[in-house]
Structure 1
């Protein structure tokens, strides 16, 4: 950080699209080391609390109010460490409890272009430790000639055009924030008359059948966001789910997330409406998609009862969402546990430069 004139602090950053999300990527060394000071900087940088985030670079939506913080790692077999921060749009609050698989898509390219990882000719594997969930992820980035490329022919639903593929493999995502895949010890249980599954694979989630909350399950996010009674009902169920999962009082946190599920309509495995948690995602979170996918292949869960078998076998799961679908590949051990979950994303470097943050934010 440097201090230019006019009372601002200058902080280097790169604005990137990662999957279907967008936000600034920082080197950890460029931010305050003390968490409270760091969070004040992130809130000011994004322009919160304001519904339009007009005084910062946030986009006025949970999907565009995200931050990736990257640092070199001293852990054996790990290249870089990644801390995800969800900055509330309308509150001065930063939540670092969950991971974000979409923002994770940009960590590999960012690390290579920040000289934290040396690029190979062709493809470069970046091993990433996620501090939020203490999980390990491999990202395979396209680097012909030792240079990151973003152009390509891979399309992901929820993003216009095509780009170079980034292959993500989640290696140990069971119990990302809790004590296991089903932290309450049940594959399904009842909360206030609603049958739910409380699962934690890459993201702690409460899964319920859409019909049990009075909707079809294929509504648009705009329709669901306008349903105040539904959102209030989801919040009440979610808070109790968080307590049962051992997460404590989650009324002000973004976890557990919520998936309202229904049968597939367009040849996929299952339909999901993913809440983040007070608004419906325009497409689907990667980490939430992994959790839904694993639950859909586990007997006894709400997801399993709604899922189609699919022609690709047990390990191929296609989740239909408002913008299309997300395809997930699961690998299983002989005892039936998931050993690896893979998904393909894309990313784009949009802007690089310096954020100007009022110096008073650091002195607060």
Structure 2
């Protein structure tokens, strides 16, 4: 196999996403060369990613690159890469909180962080946003465990819990929680909240699109008129938030909220952005929680009594619970529980380039 290069990697599920995890030292330092390699590894440019290890879906065409920390106060760096499925391109603008949930266990297993008996805290520097997120994983007797009794909707079975604390989630990409300075404005007749929390989002009420916010993801994806209108709103939102033309970017993410069907606080439909997420992105759940602390936002106006505490978001596959705590300085922190699993370890094979 002299014509193939072996790149060590571990396939992991993080929350409701999955993809290969690489050590930064094993990939090219040059971003363009690195991205070209990731495109080949994942098999992008084909709807099934048939010539790579991608799953033919945005939720399974994700990559995590982990290495030594480059920021004071962090233990490791984590660069997230969204590798497009049908297009041969890579987007490192967004973060992924679901993949983030597997970073600390990967870092411990790779020897980047030393586990301690009981519980190990890993301060993860997300290179995409420049923020640090705390991840706490159980390490009984100083040993990493993936099996456990924690369950999350959208994933079958149970696994060991991973607790994430987003303490620097405001203004991840723009430096401001409200990039336009307003908690609510109107785009093309649609009232929206443009917010930059753990990820930039444009939030609207489902009813303004003639929907309930409780529709199955497949129904929303199959409605071309709705999807075109949502994309038009998203592109204008991108301009207003300072991102320029976002036609080729996954940011900002559009989100619809509606009345819950059960005991949840709101029903949520999160878009990635051109398909509806089968559950809910962790960064989306965190940003919705931050919006809930703003009384005049789309979310805050629907939850007028909320200040801090637990919030339950209903998504297409169940619910996600987040907790908001207001710190001594008045800044909110958001806490989420996820699970992860180590699926496969070995090497990705790529062709030699002259």
TM-score interval for Structure 1 and Structure 2 normalised by the shorter chain: over 0.9
| Correspondence list, 1:166-177, <5 A | 166-177=162-173
Displacement of 1:100 in angstroms is 0.3
Separation in 1 of the partners of 2:210 and 2:351?
A: 47
**Structure 2 residue ranges without an equivalent (≥5):** none
TM-score, structure 1 normalization? 0.95
Displacement of 1:314 in angstroms is 2.9
CA contact (8 A) 2:70 2:77 kept: no
Separation in 2 of the partners of 1:43 and 1:190?
A: 38
1:121 maps to what in 2?
A: 117
Segment drifting more, 346-355 vs 140-149: 140-149
2:30 maps to what in 1?
A: 34
Separation in 1 of the partners of 2:270 and 2:69?
A: 32
**Structure 1 residue ranges without an equivalent (≥5):** none
Separation in 1 of the partners of 2:73 and 2:247?
A: 37
Displacement of 1:316 in angstroms is 1.2
Please list the CA deviations of residues 82-132 of structure 1 after superposition, one character each: whole Å capped at 9, or x if unmatched. 000000000011000010000000000000000000010111111110010
Segment drifting more, 293-302 vs 118-127: 293-302
Separation in 2 of the partners of 1:278 and 1:149?
A: 36
1:92 maps to what in 2?
A: 88
Superposition misfits of 4+ residues, deviation over 6 angstroms: none
Separation in 2 of the partners of 1:69 and 1:138?
A: 17
Alignment partner of 1:57 out of 53, 57, 62: 53
The number of residues matched between the two structures is 354
What SS does the aligned partner of 2:88 have? coil
| Correspondence list, 1:257-296, <5 A | 257-296=253-292
CA contact (8 A) 2:291 2:300 kept: yes
Please list the CA deviations of residues 258-279 of structure 1 after superposition, one character each: whole Å capped at 9, or x if unmatched. 1111122211111110000000
2:182 maps to what in 1?
A: 186
| Correspondence list, 1:1-364, <5 A | 4-5=1-2, 7-307=3-303, 309=305, 314-333=308-327, 336-338=330-332, 340-360=333-353, 363=354
Separation in 1 of the partners of 2:39 and 2:184?
A: 38
What SS does the aligned partner of 2:227 have? helix
Segment drifting more, 257-266 vs 199-208: 257-266
Separation in 2 of the partners of 1:336 and 1:120?
A: 32
What SS does the aligned partner of 1:346 have? strand
What SS does the aligned partner of 2:72 have? coil
Separation in 1 of the partners of 2:175 and 2:155?
A: 34
Separation in 1 of the partners of 2:155 and 2:260?
A: 21
User: Could you say what the CA RMSD is over the residues aligned between the two structures, in angstroms?
Assistant: 1.3
Q: 1:84 to 1:74 in 2, by over 3 A?
A: closer
CA contact (8 A) 1:268 1:319 kept: yes
